[in-house]
Amino acid sequence: MSIHRPLVAVYPGSFDPITRGHEDIARRCLRLADEVVVAVAHTATQKKNVLFEVDERVELIGQVFADEPRIRCVSFQGLLVDFCRSRGAHLVIRGLRAVSDFEYEFQMAQMNQELSPDVETVFLTPDVHHSFISASLVREVARLGGDVSAFVSPVVLERLQGIYGVAS
């Protein structure tokens, strides 16, 4: 007799802020996994200007996915594979918007495979309507007063309006 263990997927990133593209990937992860942990990294792997502190991002993501009990959000520090091990996760989900994302993501996946062969990386592409959206682009458009309401959930838009007074 075998006992079914839930398949846990980790979807790591900075999510500053979480966009509709991120949401799409996280929700579609549920087709592959029983549970998705959106893991907000304390330390970005690439240099970024931070808009929201890590705790604020975790809170926002929790609100965005309040309707989905199989998606939860936590922050983490250190190596992703160590975090996966601590959560019993054997699947890492990464989103690819464009070919330009692939080289960096591929290198990271190979390094993670070397560090922890029992953790697999799966690449998902966002829905075509979200493929051009990035958190940095949303931050820039919001900072310049543009309407980002189509790119983020209402709770994120409200927070951006509080910072930048963006249009809706």
Annotated binding site for substrate: 14, 80, 94
Rounded Cα–Cα distance for residues 108 and 15 (Å) = 18
What's 58's DSSP letter?
H
Rounded Cα–Cα distance for residues 74 and 158 (Å) = 22
* Numbered residues of the known binding site: 14-15, 22, 80, 94-97, 105, 130-136
Radius of gyration, alpha carbons of the chain: 16
What's 46's DSSP letter?
S
**Own/partner pairs, 162-166, CB within 8 angstroms, 24+ separation:** 163/51, 166/142
* Numbered residues of the known binding site for ATP: 14-15, 22, 95-97, 105, 130-136
Q: Which residues pair with 40 in a beta bridge?
A: 13, 75
DSSP-based three-state secondary structure for 35: strand
What's 130's DSSP letter?
G
